A = this chain, B = another copy of it.
Amino acid sequence: MELRNQVEWVLHCCTVLAALPEGGRLSTRALAEFHGVPKEYLSKALQALARAGIVEGTLGPSGGYRLARPADEVSFLDVVEAVEGPGRAFVCNEIRRNNPCLGQFRPGGKCRIARVMWQAEDAWRRELASVRLSDVTRALEDDVPQDVMERSAQWLVDRAG
């Protein structure tokens, strides 16, 4: 049960996009080089984000991605689900129906085991939904020195066109 690398990548990309000044865009190439990840594959993940309505990309030169919503309206869960899909981690195959001794009895309701597993997943989702991109960008300003932030902003703008 491992999350894809793409999840880590797009979360970092989104926090960068969230810290971007109003109206700015960043190309896939800039984001990929900035994070040291393969550009073409990152592109796939960003497309998924675009399909989910989290970012929006524009074509042509000086094109690129920007957040489609304010950073405080995008939760971690939104981003994770956009890349990882909305499916559950635990899939119930109803193997209790394979019990050869059921006779006429057909089990109704949800399998107890699935219910427990899904309850845990709901807790996971709740936690992710409670954190927004804006929370991270704010925390980032404490972690990273001012000059690094400025150099990074300049670096990104330089290859944004």
A-side residues, CB < 8 A to B, are: 1-5, 7-9, 11-12, 15, 33-37, 76, 84, 87, 89-93, 95-96, 98-103, 105, 107, 109, 112-113, 116-117, 119-121, 123-128, 131, 136, 139-140, 143-145, 147-148, 151-152, 154-155
Bound Cα distance A10, B151 (Å) = 53
For residue A28, give the distance in angstroms from its CB to the closest CB of chain B.
Answer: 15
Please judge, given known A-B contacts A2-B91, A89-B3, A151-B103, whether A119 and B112 are in contact too, CB under 8 Å.
Answer: no
- Residues of the B chain whose Cβ atoms lie less than 8 Å from the Cβ of A96: 12, 35
CB pair B143–A128 under 8 Å, yes or no, is no
How many subunits of this chain does the assembly comprise? Answer: 2
Residues of B within 8 A of A93 (CB): 5, 8
Contacts of A109 in B (CB 8 A): 143
Min CB–CB distance A121 → chain B (angstroms): 7
Contact of A117 among B76, B98, B113, B155 (CB under 8 A): B76
Complex Cα–Cα for A99 and B143 (A): 14
The one of B8, B9, B127, B155 that contacts A101, using a Cβ cutoff of 8 Å? B155
| Interchain residue pairs with CB less than 8 A apart (17) | A1-B1, A1-B3, A1-B89, A8-B95, A9-B95, A34-B98, A99-B148, A103-B148, A105-B144, A109-B143, A112-B143, A116-B128, A116-B136, A120-B124, A123-B124, A123-B127, A124-B124
